[in-house]
Amino acid sequence: MKFFESYKIEEGITCIKGLTGELMYLIEGKDRAILLDTGLGVGNIKEYVEQLTSLPYIVILSHGHLDHAGGASLFESVYINQNDVSLLHNHSDIAGRKAYLESVLGEGFVPEDAYVTFKEIEYLPIKEGDVIDLGGLTVEVIEAPGHTQGSLCFLIKEKRILFTGDACNNFTFLFLPESLPVEDYGHTIKKLLARDEEYDRVLVSHVNHELPKSVIRDVYECCIDIMEGNVDDIPFNFMGHGAAYIAKKIDPEKGKRADGRVGNIVYRKDNIFSTKGYGY
Ligand SMILES: [Zn+2]
C-alpha cells in the first residue's frame, strides 16, 4: 500500500502528502535538511524521507496534533515547542489516529499494523527566533500560538517562503480545547502580518500546499470581525467537538469563501476574548 506521495515545489522544497491529505515538507540546504512534520503515523515516514534525501536531517513538528506528530515515534528525537509536548502525548494513541483517519477515509482503509506505535522519544526544545542553518538556506522559527499553544511557523528567508502549518489557513481551526481565544490569536497573526515584506509564498499543512499570501491579512481581519460580531456564523461539527462556527460563509460549489477572500476561522463563542487584558 502506498502511504505517501511527494512532489517538488521548488529547488530544496519537497511536499510530502500523507493518506488523509496532511502535508509534510522536506527542506534541503547544501549541508543538511529538515523534515517538517511526521504526518498521521500511518506507514513509515522515516523510510520514505530517507529515500528522498541522502542529507543528514532533523525533524521539527509544527505542532503536537496527531495528524502532524503521529509519525514522530519513528525517530530518536524531534524538535517541538514545549507548549505542545503534553498535547502530543494526549494525541499519541492509535485509537485517536484511527478515528481521525476513518473520519476522512472510512473504515478498513488501512491495515491495523500500518499505524506507528507510540514510544517515548527525546523532545528537543525549539522557540521564537531560533534560526537553523541548512547550508545556503536558513529557517527562522516564529511562535504562532492560537490553533494550539505551541504552534510554530517557519520563514525561509532566502526563498521568501512562510510555512504556517495549521496556524493560519483558509479554514483555521480555533475551536479545539487547546486553542487560544480569538483575541490572543489575533496578536499572533498581527506578528505574521508585520513581517509581510519578508515572504511571497505561504505554504500550509492540509489539502493544497499553497495559499495566496493574502490569507494572513484575511485571517487577521476575521479575528477583528469575530470580536465585533461581524460574522456569518455557519454551524460546524467536527468529531464530537462542541458547537463551533465558521466565521465567513463558504460557497459550497467552490469550497471557498463566498466573498472571494481566502482566510477563514472556525471558532467557539465562549473563546473569543482574551483574559490577558490588552485591547485589540
Ligand atoms: Zn492541527
* Residue 277 pLDDT > 70: no
**Separation of CA 100 and ligand 1 centre (Å):** 12
CA–CA gap between residue 248 and residue 193 (Å, rounded): 20
Q: Which amino acid is residue 154, in one-letter code?
A: F
Where residue 45 sits, what CATH number does that domain have? 3.60.15.10
**Separation of CA 196 and ligand 1 centre (Å):** 23
Which pLDDT score, from 0 to 100, does residue 9 have?
97
**Separation of CA 158 and ligand 1 centre (Å):** 27
CA–CA gap between residue 204 and residue 163 (Å, rounded): 6
Decide: 84 and 166 in contact? Cβ < 8 Å.
Answer: no
For residue 278, name the pLDDT band (cuts at 50, 70, 90).
Answer: low
**Separation of CA 11 and ligand 1 centre (Å):** 27
**Separation of CA 209 and ligand 1 centre (Å):** 15
Query: Domain for residue 273, yes or no?
Result: no
**Separation of CA 142 and ligand 1 centre (Å):** 16
Residue that wins the pLDDT comparison between 252 and 32: 32
Q: Give the full edge-to-edge strand order of the sheet including 244-246.
A: 172-173, 265-267, 244-246, 234-236
Q: For residue range 97-108, list pLDDT tens digits in order.
A: 999 999 999 998
Query: Domain for residue 19, yes or no?
Result: yes
**Separation of CA 219 and ligand 1 centre (Å):** 16
**Separation of CA 64 and ligand 1 centre (Å):** 7
Query: Domain for residue 234, yes or no?
Result: yes
Pick the closest to residue 58 from 72, 70, 48, 68 (CA basis).
72
CA–CA gap between residue 131 and residue 9 (Å, rounded): 22
Query: Domain for residue 280, yes or no?
Result: no
**Separation of CA 225 and ligand 1 centre (Å):** 23
**Separation of CA 166 and ligand 1 centre (Å):** 5
**Separation of CA 147 and ligand 1 centre (Å):** 7
Pick the closest to residue 156 from 132, 134, 140 (CA basis).
140
Query: Domain for residue 245, yes or no?
Result: yes
* Residue 280 pLDDT > 60: no
**Separation of CA 63 and ligand 1 centre (Å):** 7
Query: Domain for residue 279, yes or no?
Result: no
**Separation of CA 61 and ligand 1 centre (Å):** 11
* Residue 248 pLDDT > 70: yes
Task: Give me the domain span that covers residue 74.
Answer: 5-267
Cell of 226: 469575530
**Separation of CA 30 and ligand 1 centre (Å):** 30
**Separation of CA 224 and ligand 1 centre (Å):** 22
**Separation of CA 51 and ligand 1 centre (Å):** 26
- How many domains does one find in the chain? 1
**Separation of CA 69 and ligand 1 centre (Å):** 9
Q: Within 13 A of 132's CA, how many CA atoms are on the CB side? A: 26
Query: Domain for residue 262, yes or no?
Result: yes
Query: Domain for residue 276, yes or no?
Result: no
**Separation of CA 179 and ligand 1 centre (Å):** 10
* Residue 94 pLDDT > 60: yes
- The predicted model gives 118-145 an average pLDDT of 98
**Separation of CA 92 and ligand 1 centre (Å):** 14
Q: For residue range 22-68, list pLDDT tens digits in order.
A: 999 999 999 999 999 999 999 999 999 999 999 999 999 999 999 99
